[in-house]
Amino acid sequence: MSMNFLPKFSPRNDQRRQVEAYNTILHKAAKLGGQLFGSIPKGHRREFFCLDEHTWVWHEEWIDANGQRQVVTTQYHVRPDGILKSQGDQVYRRIGEAELYNLYQAVELYEETIPPALERLVHV
């Protein structure tokens, strides 16, 4: 008798499900994070999220007046000696006080808003 109708259980399948679950949560967090700073214009995509314990990402996409797709991705790397910023293919540079303050405010808003929102989504 064949047992092919039973699902296959293996550490690899469990790991894949964990990765898929993590990616789903990350995408939801990114989308919610993009909505923290006001309405998103039609045709725009905006995301703001914490990639890992040291990296914050701001991503925007839109179609410009000439019909060209524009994409800007900014990464902030939190280091013990300061925060480095990379945008597109530019080299990393330290951020100034005004940008540091804005990033701090964004992270604070994210931390108080997104985890509870994700918790509600997960338990629905």
Q: What is the pLDDT of residues 42-88, one digit of tens each?
A: 889 999 999 889 999 999 999 999 999 999 999 999 999 999 999 98
Strands in 45-52's sheet, in edge-to-edge order, are 45-52, 55-63, 69-79, 82-87, 93-94
The pLDDT-based confidence of 1 (bands split at 50, 70, 90) is very low
H-helix or E-strand spanning residue 15 = helix 11-34
What percent of the chain stands above pLDDT 70?
87
Closest CA to 37 of 106, 116, 85: 106
Report d(CA 22, CA 56) in Å as an integer. Answer: 16
Is the pLDDT at 3 greater than 50? The verdict is no
